[in-house]
């Protein structure tokens, strides 16, 4: 669809129209996809009992592969590069052949419509082949993070009931080898799971067990064709687990039809991709961002994706070298990666020619103004876009949709209501608040991108978790406010809000100031109770190469005080406690300071961070 360029007012009107007449709005957007049978009814029921594009039949892999293979077989579907510098190019013809081969093998292993298949891989072309193969057969794709602990993975395999797993035997991340197969073997020995077969994409020599099927041994050599299953729009397509920032990760599913329509609309409006565009999504596979781009949008739109295996911060020059090498036009990145670029310094941007770049889209956390300005100053003609969304609602809640028109940037804000979604800011009792008043961010959207919980057929858990805190609204768990022009400011997680002397302070309000200090790479603010009163500690990671000193701590404290923020302590650390998707787990800092239970730490990226925290916080 060609989106015309709108004024800000017109975008607001579009959002209003979508809110009043969701069926009409979404009916027009079903045509991003090719349907085997057109939907009969656009919307049935109300969330969480809603069904979309009812009766429509389609197949995700067919939309991502077959229809482009027919018209553009030589077009590049993906470029791949590893942090070591190896590369591969995958055309749409290759993609078509490989997805069919992978589908054939999965079918031989008994995978059929409705079966869940678990996948653990780094960002390599085979990850795309097998994911799309699962969809070709009508299965439910569940991608897990690399490096989840054994018990967490065992829990998830049971939760999503996968009989078949597909893995790559190993990968390298930030120079370290991760032996995926060894971890999987060990957990399957120790824990009871439904897994019967493990299909292994071999990278080097591996030991095999009876469960294993080595892909190279069974892969058809010639051409094969596997019929794409005609899926009803509302059948589950994929299960995601939330990041685990605020508690135990929740398992949610998105559908074959509505989800795909919503994502294609989202990215059309956010980035306005053009034919031939090269788009790099900097994310690990386990975070929804990777599949959203590399499975459900880039090939569905017939674009070219960049798959990067490893850690982009491994070497300071990697980011700009990848952009130059593949002529990247669009970058979608986690907030934490953008902070990494800033902390690596000039080399991260000027080691290669980045003039092909048109937009950089941030997602994951509120992007602090310091980092945004740093990027802005270095990528002058590049649109720095933002999109605030959550696993449960994979249509942006607020964003700067440059594909629709010029949305002027406002420091600290993720943008305006994204057409198709709708939010409100409410007080403790669920009453809507006027502009500039801080409160809880809730959703009153009716759209096809709202997930449902897996294993929850009557939506009881869904209602309990999301719909009961503020009746009539879906609760995001976030805290913020809107300004007079409808810009939304996410200022922190509601659980992390700091109440001091009657005032409620969002963590972002403190962090954004701290991050403006020239010696600070990253900072996080945490409120905690001690001796009956609320205190604030700010953890600071100094810029690369800077020495840690008590003076710097005092300096940052004074810097904050000059900006009107009084904190009790500033503590220097080598890294912040983050989830695998790079979100700061403030609750762990609070738990250590208050001597509470740590709670769920299954998605904590480097568990050794806890020792450092205990050590520095006890001083």
Residues designated catalytic: 495
Q: Which is nearer to ligand ATP, 264 or 362 (CB)?
A: 362
Distance CA 385, CA 534 (A): 36
The nearest distance, CB 493 to ligand ATP, in angstroms, is 6
The torsion defined by the Cα of 298, 277, 336 and 479, in degrees rounded to 10, comes to -70
Q: Does 496 help bind ligand ATP (rule: CB under 6 A)?
A: no
110 dihedral zone (left: phi>0; alpha: psi -120 to 50; beta): left
Choose from Mg ion, ligand ATP, none: what does 524 bind? Cβ within 5-8 Å by kind.
Answer: none
Length of the chain: 619
The number of beta carbons lying within 10 Å of the beta carbon of residue 178 is 16
Work out what residue 362 binds among Mg ion, ligand ATP, none; the CB cut-off runs from 5 to 8 Å by kind.
ligand ATP
**CB nearer Mg ion, residue 59 or residue 445:** 445
d(CA 396, CA 265): 10
Residue selected from 103, 242, 336, 337 as contacting ligand ATP according to rule CB under 6 A: 242
Retrieve residue 596's tokens.
Answer: 């509470």
**How, if at all, do strands 140-143 and 236-241 pair?**
parallel
Q: How far is the CB of 246 from Mg ion (least distance, A)?
A: 6
Q: Minimal distance in Å, beta carbon 393 to ligand ATP?
A: 9
Can residue 447 be called a binding residue for ligand ATP (CB under 6 A)?
no
- Find the binder of ligand ATP among 125, 228, 249, 420 (CB under 6 A): 249
SS3 label, residue 329 = coil
238 scored as a contact of ligand ATP (CB under 6 A): no
Nearer to ligand ATP, 22 or 477 (CB): 477
Instruction: Name, in order, each residue with C-beta under 8 angstroms of 373's C-beta and a sequence gap of 6 or more.
Output: none
Binding ligand ATP (rule: CB under 6 A), the pick from 22, 302, 366, 506 is 366
316 in contact with ligand ATP (CB under 6 A): no
Residue 393-432 contact track with ligand ATP, rule CB under 6 A, x = bound: ---------------------x------------------
Alpha-carbon torsion, ordered 369, 370, 375, 377, to 10 deg: 100
- The only residue of 170, 245, 348, 369 in contact with ligand ATP, by rule CB under 6 A: 245
Q: Which of residues 557-596 bind ligand ATP (CB under 6 A)?
A: 581, 583
Q: Is 337 an interacting residue with respect to ligand ATP (CB under 6 A)? A: no
In the complex, what is the shortest distance from the CB of residue 415 to ligand ATP, in angstroms, rounded to a whole number? 8
Residues 457-476 as x/- pattern, contact with ligand ATP by CB under 6 A:
-------------------x
Binder among 103, 329, 362, 447 for ligand ATP (CB under 6 A) = 362
Q: Residue 172 is encoded by which pair of tokens?
A: 């390298």
Q: Which is nearer to Mg ion, 242 or 581 (CB)?
A: 242
* 198 lies in the binding site for ligand ATP (CB under 6 A): no
Main-chain dihedrals φ then ψ at residue 147, nearest 5 degrees:
80, 20
Taking CB within 5 to 8 Å according to partner kind, which of Mg ion, ligand ATP, none is near residue 348?
none
48 binding partner (options Mg ion, ligand ATP, none; Cβ < 5 to 8 Å by kind): none
State the binding partner of 448 from Mg ion, ligand ATP, none, CB within 5 to 8 A by kind: none
Nearest alpha-carbon partner for 6 in 385, 360, 402: 402
* Contact residue for ligand ATP among 243, 256, 281, 400 (CB under 6 A): 243
* Residue carrying structure tokens 């009790």: 568
Could you tell me whether strands 359-363 and 383-390 are parallel, antiparallel, or unpaired per DSSP bridges?
parallel
| Residue (299 or 582) nearer to ligand ATP, CB | 582
Binding at 259: pick from ligand ATP, Mg ion, none (beta carbon under 5-8 Å per type)? none
Pick one of 247, 276, 432, 434: the residue that binds ligand ATP (CB under 6 A). 247
CA 17/CA 25 separation, integer angstroms: 7
- Both structure tokens of 166: 């597909």
Instruction: Compute the distance between CA of residue 497 and CA of residue 507 in angstroms, rounded to an integer.
Output: 6
Which among 75-83, 170-178, 245-253, 340-348 is the span making contact with ligand ATP, rule CB under 6 A?
Answer: 245-253
Burial readout 199-238 (b: 16 or more C-beta within 10 A, e: otherwise): bbbbbeebeeeeebbebeeeeeeeeeebebbbbbbbbbbb
Q: Which is nearer to ligand ATP, 185 or 365 (CB)?
A: 365
3-class SS of residue 268? helix
Confirm or reject binding of residue 281 to ligand ATP (CB under 6 A): no
Residue 126 preceded by cis peptide, ω within 30: no
Cα–Cα distance, 20 to 444 (Å, whole number): 11
Look up residue 246 and give its two tokens.
Answer: 């605020």
Q: What is the x/- site pattern for ligand ATP, positions 475-494, by CB under 6 A? A: -xxx-----------x--x-
> CB neighbours of 132 closer than 8 A, spacing ≥ 6?
60, 61, 64, 65, 95, 99, 102, 295, 299
From residue 32 to residue 71, the character string flagging contacts with ligand ATP as x (rule: CB under 6 A) and all else as - is: ----------------------------------------
**# chain residues binding ligand ATP, by CB under 6 A:** 26
**Residues contacting Mg ion: total by CB under 5 A:** 1
* Burial group, residue 347, by CB count within 10 angstroms (0-12, 13-18, 19+): middle
Phi first, then psi, for residue 513 (nearest 5°) are -70, -50
Residue 509 within binding range of ligand ATP, rule CB under 6 A: no
Using CB atoms within 10 Å of the CB of residue 434, give its burial: 0 to 12 exposed, 13 to 18 middle, 19+ buried. exposed
**Nearest distance, CB of residue 184 and ligand ATP, angstroms:** 24
Give dist(CA 317, CA 334) in Å, integer: 18
Piece of 151-159, 197-205, 217-225, 361-369 that binds ligand ATP (CB under 6 A): 361-369
Mask: binding to Mg ion, 227-266, rule CB under 5 A, as x and -? ---------------x------------------------
Closest CB to ligand ATP among residues 215, 241? 241
Q: Cis (ω within 30 of 0) for the bond into 111?
A: no
The answer to whether residue 322 forms part of the interface with ligand ATP (CB under 6 A) is no
- What does the alpha-carbon distance between residue 498 and residue 507 come to, in Å, rounded to a whole number? 7
Q: How far is the CB of 441 from ligand ATP (least distance, A)?
A: 8
Between the CA of residue 302 and those of 285, 357, 379, 541, what are the distances in Å?
Answer: 20, 19, 27, 41
Give the footprint of Mg ion on this chain (CB under 5 A): 242
Residue numbers at the binding site for ligand ATP (CB under 6 A): 242-247, 249, 362-366, 386-391, 414, 476-478, 490, 493, 581, 583
């Amino acid at each position: 669809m060609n989106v015309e360029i709108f004024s800000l007012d017109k975008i607001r009107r579009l959002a209003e129209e979508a809110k009043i007449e969701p069926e009409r709005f979404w009916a027009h957007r079903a045509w991003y996809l090719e349907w085997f049978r057109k939907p009969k009814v656009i919307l049935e029921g109300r969330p969480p009992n809603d069904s979309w594009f009812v009766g429509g039949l389609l197949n995700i892999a067919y939309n991502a592969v077959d229809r482009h293979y027919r018209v553009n077989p030589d077009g590049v579907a993906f470029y791949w590069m590893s942090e070591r510098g190896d590369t591969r190019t995958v055309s749409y013809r290759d993609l078509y052949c490989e997805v069919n081969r992978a589908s054939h093998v999965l079918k031989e292993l008994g995978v059929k419509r409705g079966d869940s298949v678990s996948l653990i891989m780094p960002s390599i072309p085979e990850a795309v082949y097998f994911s799309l193969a699962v969809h070709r057969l009508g299965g439910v794709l569940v991608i897990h993070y690399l490096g989840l602990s054994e018990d967490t993975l065992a829990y998830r395999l049971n939760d999503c009931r996968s009989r078949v797993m597909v893995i790559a035997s190993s990968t390298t991340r930030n120079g370290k080898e991760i032996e995926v197969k060894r971890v999987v073997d060990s957990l399957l020995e120790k824990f009871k799971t439904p897994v019967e077969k493990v299909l292994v994409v071999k990278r080097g020599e591996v030991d095999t067990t009876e469960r294993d099927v080595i892909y190279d041994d069974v892969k058809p050599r010639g051409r094969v064709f596997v019929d794409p299953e005609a899926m009803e729009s509302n059948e589950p397509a994929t299960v995601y687990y939330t990041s685990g920032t605020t508690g135990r990760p929740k398992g949610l599913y998105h559908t074959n039809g509505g989800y795909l329509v919503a994502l294609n609309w989202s990215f059309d409006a956010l980035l306005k991709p053009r034919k031939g565009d090269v788009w790099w999504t900097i994310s690990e596979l386990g975070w929804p961002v990777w599949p959203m781009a590399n499975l459900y949008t880039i090939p569905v739109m017939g674009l070219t994706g960049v798959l990067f295996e490893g850690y982009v911060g491994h070497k300071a020059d990697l980011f700009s070298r990848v952009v130059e090498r593949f002529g990247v036009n669009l970058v979608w990145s986690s907030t934490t990666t953008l902070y990494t670029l800033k902390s690596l310094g000039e080399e991260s941007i000027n080691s290669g020619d980045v003039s092909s770049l048109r937009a950089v889209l941030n997602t994951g956390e509120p992007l602090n103004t310091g980092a945004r300005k740093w990027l802005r100053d270095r990528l002058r003609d590049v649109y720095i876009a933002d999109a605030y969304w959550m696993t449960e609602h994979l249509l942006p809640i607020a964003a700067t949709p440059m594909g629709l028109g010029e949305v002027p940037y406002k420091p600290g804000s993720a943008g305006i209501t994204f057409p198709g979604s709708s939010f409100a800011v409410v007080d403790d009792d669920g009453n809507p608040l006027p502009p500039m008043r801080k409160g809880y961010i809730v959703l009153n959207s009716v759209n096809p991108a709202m997930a449902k919980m897996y294993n929850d057929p009557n939506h009881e858990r869904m209602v309990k978790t999301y719909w009961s805190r503020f009746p009539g609204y879906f609760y995001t768990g976030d805290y913020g406010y809107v300004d007079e022009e409808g810009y939304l400011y996410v200022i922190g997680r509601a659980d992390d809000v700091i109440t001091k002397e009657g005032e409620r302070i969002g963590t972002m309000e403190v962090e954004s100031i701290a991050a403006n200090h020239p010696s600070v790479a990253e900072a996080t603010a945490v409120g905690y109770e001690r001796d009956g009163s609320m205190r604030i500690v700010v953890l600071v990671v100094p810029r690369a190469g800077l020495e840690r000193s008590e003076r710097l701590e005092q300096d940052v404290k004074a810097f904050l005080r000059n900006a009107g923020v009084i904190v009790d302590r500033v503590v220097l650390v080598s890294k912040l406690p983050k989830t695998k998707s790079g979100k700061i787990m403030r609750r762990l800092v609070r738990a250590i300071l208050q001597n509470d239970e740590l709670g769920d730490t299954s998605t904590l990226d480097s568990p050794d961070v806890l020792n450092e925290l205990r050590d520095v916080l006890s001083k």
